[in-house]
Amino acid sequence: MYETMEALRQAALGCQGCKLCQTRHNVVFGAGNPQSQVMFIGEGPGENEDLQGEPFVGRAGQLLDKMLAHVGLSRQENLYITNMVKCRPPQNRDPEKEEVAACIGFLRNQVHLIRPKVIVCLGRVAACALIDPAFKVTRQHGIFYEKNGFLMMGTFHPAALLRNPRQKPEGLEDLIALRQLLDRQD
């Protein structure tokens, strides 16, 4: 375990723990305020993220930022955002089990340093890896589960909301529930 985020980031930048290091342009470590009460976890960087070295900066990320702003959350201020894997899976395929296993230590260390009250999983890949392998986003989104001393919730991945905009109101409701929970904890 690294005891500072910068030391951890430096370790991630040099990581060759799986084959994704061969095709990446940048390691996408994470962004936001490490002192936040809430942490968002996506699947893995896409093309824009790989090129810019920052998570959720493409179209899906822009939608997510807009929805988060609606409930008073932003990466500039009060959340931390990262992914299950820190390097882009080619063609945006799902990360493989071995890739998630090779990368999970970085995520664990990030959670250890941030100590968030709530962890929000964006989409099936993160929710299945972190909440329940049988997690069904359409049925279980917006429910808070207590796990290992954290509250965890799974919601729609913003890329899924771009593909299926009819689900946007439900996605927003999940964030409103998150806001209410954070307000109760203050």
Q: Which residues bind ligand URA (CB under 6 A)?
A: 42-46, 49, 55-56, 60-61, 83, 159
Kindly state the smallest distance separating residue 58's Cβ from ligand URA, in Å.
6
Amino acid at 3: E
What SS3 class is residue 166?
helix
Task: Give whichever of 47 and 183 is closer to ligand URA, judged by the CB atom.
Answer: 47
With a CB cutoff of 8 Å and minimum separation 6, the contacts of 28 are 45, 49, 50, 53, 54, 55, 82, 83, 86, 87, 88
Are the beta carbons of 137 and 104 closer than 8 angstroms?
no
Are the beta carbons of 43 and 72 closer than 8 angstroms?
no
Task: Give whichever of 3 and 95 is closer to ligand URA, judged by the CB atom.
Answer: 95
Task: Give whichever of 128 and 185 is closer to ligand URA, judged by the CB atom.
Answer: 128
Task: Give whichever of 37 and 40 is closer to ligand URA, judged by the CB atom.
Answer: 40
Q: Which residue has the tokens 């529930």?
A: 177
Kindly state the smallest distance separating residue 56's Cβ from ligand URA, in Å.
4
Kindly state the smallest distance separating residue 124's Cβ from ligand URA, in Å.
11
Task: Give whichever of 13 and 180 is closer to ligand URA, judged by the CB atom.
Answer: 13
Are the beta carbons of 181 and 173 closer than 8 angstroms?
no
Kindly state the smallest distance separating residue 42's Cβ from ligand URA, in Å.
3
- Which strands form 38-42's sheet, in the order they lie side by side? 31-32, 80-83, 38-42, 118-122, 150-155, 144-147
Task: Give whichever of 32 and 44 is closer to ligand URA, judged by the CB atom.
Answer: 44
Kindly state the smallest distance separating residue 57's Cβ from ligand URA, in Å.
7
Kindly state the smallest distance separating residue 90's Cβ from ligand URA, in Å.
14
Instruction: Please report the beta strands in 45-101, taking only residues with DSSP state E, as ranges in sequence order.
Output: 80-83
